[in-house]
C-alpha cells in the first residue's frame, strides 16, 4: 500500500508573534515542530505499513526550513519525503494549500491512502484534509480513531463522534484524518535518525507541480487575513456572592435575562 502523509510545520509555543504589517504569523525565529496531530497521522501510517506492507511518503508545504519536519518523519521510519516550497505559495489559505498538496500527491502516483492530522494547532481549520480529498475526488473519513480492517482495496475505520463512534467502510484510494486515539506516536528510531541526517529532502515548487502562480499562495486564495488581534474582554463583570445554590440561581437568572439560554416550556 502506498501512503502519503501530510505533515505541517507549526510553531512550538503559544508564544507566536504576528507581523504587524501583513498580519500573518512570523514563522522565522520561533522553534518549529511537527504539528502534534500529524504525529498521529505518521503513527497511523507506520502501523498500516506494519500490517499491510508498502511505502510511506511524507509531504509538507512550507518555507525551506520546513525540511526539518520531513527529516523528523524519516527519523520515525517514513520511507521518503517531499517538501513543497516556493515564494509563490506564501499567504495560502486552506484552498490554495490543498491545491499544492493535492497536485503533489497526484504526482507521487498510485497513492492508495492519504492521511492527514485532524487539524493544525496554528491554523486550526481542519479543512486541509477534506479539501485535498475534494480536489482528488477521493472519499474521505475525518476523525479516524482506529482501524478494524486493513486490506489492499478497502479499509474499515472507526470515526470518532461526540457521543461514541461510527464504523465506516471505505474503498481505497481514500483520505482519512486522524485523532489522538489512533495510537501513541512511537519514538524515533536510531536507524531512522541516522538516515535522516544524510537524507536530501526533494523539493518542488509551483512550476514542478504544473500549477500557475495564480492558483497558489495569496493569489490563489479566496480568503485574506485582514487583521489578527486578541479579542478584548470588554464585557461587564459581576461578582456573585452567597451560598453555592444562591450563586447558581443568580447565574441562571443572568443567562436567561440575557437570552443566552431559554428555560424549557
Partner 1 sequence: MDYFFTEEQEMIRDLCRQIAEERIKPVRAELDEKEEFPREIMKALAQADLFQIIIPEEYGGLGGGCLENCIAVEELSRACCGVSTSYAASFLGAYPMLLFGNEAQKEKYLPLIGSGEKLCAFALTESSSGSDAGSIQTEAKKDGDSYVLNGSKQWITNGGEAGVYTVIAITDRSKGARGATAFIVEADDPGFSIGKKEIKMGIRASATAELIFKDCRIPADRVLGKEGLGFVVAMRTFDKSRPGVGAQAVGVAQGALDEAAAFARVRKQFGKPIITFQAVAHMLADMAVDIEAGRALVYAAARYIDSGAKDFSKVSAIAKVFPTDMAMRVTTNAVQVLGGHGYMREYPVEKMMRDAKILQIYEGTNQIQRNVIGQELNKEYGRKK
Ligand X SMILES: Cc1cc2nc3c(=O)[nH]c(=O)nc-3n(C[C@H](O)[C@H](O)[C@H](O)COP(=O)(O)OP(=O)(O)OC[C@H]3O[C@@H](n4cnc5c(N)ncnc54)[C@H](O)[C@@H]3O)c2cc1C
Residue list 132-191, contact with ligand X (CB under 6 A): none
Q: Does 128 bind ligand X (CB under 6 A)?
A: yes
Q: Give the residue, chosen from 22, 152, 197, 247, that forms a contact with partner 1 under the rule CB under 8 A.
A: 197
Closest approach, Cβ 17 to ligand X, in A, equals: 13
1 makes contact, choosing from partner 1, ligand X, none, with CB < 5 to 8 Å by partner type, with: none
Q: Give the residue, chosen from 125, 134, 189, 250, that forms a contact with ligand X under the rule CB under 6 A.
A: 125
262 makes contact, choosing from ligand X, partner 1, none, with CB < 5 to 8 Å by partner type, with: none
Whether 17 and 127 have beta carbons less than 8 Å apart is answered as: no
Q: Does 58 bind ligand X (CB under 6 A)?
A: no
Count of residues interacting with ligand X (CB under 6 A):
34
Whether 3 and 46 have beta carbons less than 8 Å apart is answered as: no
Give whichever of 125 and 189 is closer to ligand X, judged by the CB atom. 125
Which residues, in sequence order, are CB contacts of 162 under 8 Å at separation 6+?
Answer: none
Give whichever of 91 and 250 is closer to ligand X, judged by the CB atom. 91
Question: Cα–Cα distance between 178 and 119 in angstroms, integer?
Answer: 9
Residues making contact with ligand X (CB under 6 A): 6-8, 24-25, 35, 37-38, 41, 59-62, 90-94, 97, 101, 116-117, 119-120, 122-129, 225, 228
Amino acid at each position: 500500500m502506498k501512503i502519503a502523509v501530510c505533515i505541517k510545520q507549526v510553531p512550538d509555543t503559544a508564544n507566536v508573534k504576528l507581523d504587524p504589517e501583513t498580519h500573518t504569523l512570523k514563522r522565522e525565529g520561533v522553534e518549529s515542530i511537527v504539528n502534534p496531530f500529524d504525529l498521529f497521522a505518521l503513527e497511523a501510517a507506520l502501523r498500516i505499513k506494519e500490517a499491510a506492507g508498502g511505502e510511506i511518503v511524507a509531504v509538507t508545504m512550507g518555507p525551506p526550513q520546513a525540511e526539518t519536519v520531513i527529516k523528523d518523519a524519516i527519523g520515525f521510519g517514513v520511507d521518503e519525503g517531499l517538501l513543497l516550497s516556493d515564494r509563490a505559495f506564501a499567504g495560502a489559505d486552506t484552498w490554495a494549500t490543498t491545491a499544492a498538496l493535492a497536485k503533489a500527491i497526484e504526482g507521487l502516483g498510485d497513492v492508495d491512502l492519504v492521511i492527514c492530522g485532524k487539524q493544525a494547532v496554528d491554523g486550526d481549520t481542519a479543512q486541509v484534509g477534506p479539501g485535498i480529498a475534494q480536489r482528488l475526488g477521493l472519499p474521505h473519513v475525518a476523525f479516524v480513531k482506529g482501524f478494524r480492517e486493513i486490506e489492499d482495496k478497502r479499509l474499515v475505520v472507526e470515526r470518532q463522534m461526540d457521543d461514541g463512534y461510527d464504523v465506516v467502510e471505505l474503498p481505497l484510494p481514500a483520505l482519512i484524518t486522524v485523532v489522538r486515539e489512533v495510537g501513541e506516536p512511537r519514538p524515533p528510531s536510531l536507524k531512522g535518525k541516522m538516515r535522516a541526517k544524510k537524507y536530501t529532502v526533494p523539493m518542488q515548487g509551483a512550476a514542478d507541480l504544473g500549477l500557475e502562480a495564480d492558483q497558489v499562495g495569496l493569489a490563489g486564495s479566496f480568503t485574506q487575513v485582514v487583521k489578527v488581534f486578541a479579542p478584548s474582554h470588554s464585557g461587564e463583570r459581576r461578582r456573585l456572592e452567597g451560598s453555592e445554590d444562591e450563586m447558581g440561581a443568580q447565574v441562571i437568572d443572568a443567562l436567561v435575562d440575557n437570552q443566552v439560554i431559554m428555560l424549557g416550556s
